[in-house]
Amino acid sequence: MFPVLLAAASPATDKFVDLDIHLWEWGALIAFIVTLLVVDLLLVHRKPHDISYKEAGIESAIWISIGVAFTGVIYLIGGDAQGGKAAGEYISGFLLEKSLSVDNVFVWAVIFSYFAIPKKYQFRVLFWGIFGALVLRAVFIFAGSALIESFTVTLAVFGVILLYTAYKLAFQEQTEVNPDKSIVLRAVRKIVPSTDQLDGQKLFTMVNGKRLATPLFAVLVMVETTDVVFAVDSVPAIFGVSRDPFIVFSSNAFAILGLRALYFLLGGMQDKFRYLHFGLGGILAFVGVKMLLTFSAEQFELPSADFHFPTFLSLGIIFGILLITVVASLIADKRDSATSKGGG
């Protein structure tokens, strides 16, 4: 499959694809996503329990497989004319969003630790968090698509945002999350009567005849708030590899659907990926520069007005940066562990 995609996504096809998506195809995509969520909630995780690394690993592999397999669907929708290019844009967007979401996973770990939420209750919060994230991303994506189509300068704005975020991400290793300083959380606590006591995995409970929000509701508010911040970075980034709303939304959706499993797999492993922030920063910087170059070429009618990175090249750069930083992080962690044991 991948050789076909790379061959089809050649420099000759130097424009983003524009798929002719029917209403029923949007309906089928949304129905499939909802079905996956319902099955995950009512069958796989019907009862609260501690999710082991093995279970999280298996589930994460399944979610990633579903996301990658959807590349074939995009290929078929694109047909002979645009199939390879469309599939290349989708898998590039999926990989981009999946890699950027890792930082989100580490932030969740900080939030759950702050509120001291038992692991067996964390899945339900993340389920509703992912559901909210899907709705939020859809709004951001369609708004961003409309802005780019109406105002070319939006490309430059997105590019600057990505470069600024890349700088912060690369040179600020520790993600600072302090719920006590969250304006949104403080506002919610003033408006919504709350209790400090958990009631299983319920977001609300009854105390002396009054309906009160449990700490899980506060966690959900924080999860959704942080996703707004990450969406501001990731949504502009994906417009650097595709402009088709169907491709952009589907790659976003399948990338974040498996974040719950990824959280239980990687949530406590932030120290093992010490160089990941450099890699994510590099990816954002690459996409940001692409957008600024595209804007400059179009705005100033430069000879390179048809400037466009081939999809396979963008995919290779994103994957290469991610692979190098992950491997370097694991080697450094292994080296430090060996030094520690030797010194002990």
Chain segment 25-48, per-residue pLDDT in tens: 999 999 999 999 988 888 878 787
Domain membership of residue 105 as a residue range: 2-336
State the CB neighbour count (10 A cutoff) for residue 228: 13
**Residue 205, in any domain of the structure:** yes
**Residue 344, in any domain of the structure:** no
CA-nearest of 327, 322, 315, 336 to 87 is 315
Residue 210 dihedral angles phi and psi, to the nearest 5°: -110, 140
> Over 70: is that where the pLDDT of 177 sits?
no
User: Structural domain tally of the chain?
Assistant: 1
DSSP readout, 95-141?
HHHHHHHHHHHHHHHHHHHHHT--HHHHHHHHHHHHHHHHHHHHHHH
**Residue 274, in any domain of the structure:** yes
Chain segment 65-79, per-residue pLDDT in tens: 999 999 999 999 998
Given pLDDT bands bounded at 50, 70 and 90, which one contains residue 13? very low
**Residue 343, in any domain of the structure:** no
pTM, entire model? 0.79
Mean pLDDT of 5-10: 36
**Residue 111, in any domain of the structure:** yes
Give the three-class secondary structure for 178: coil
**Residue 105, in any domain of the structure:** yes
**Residue 342, in any domain of the structure:** no
pLDDT number for residue 14: 47
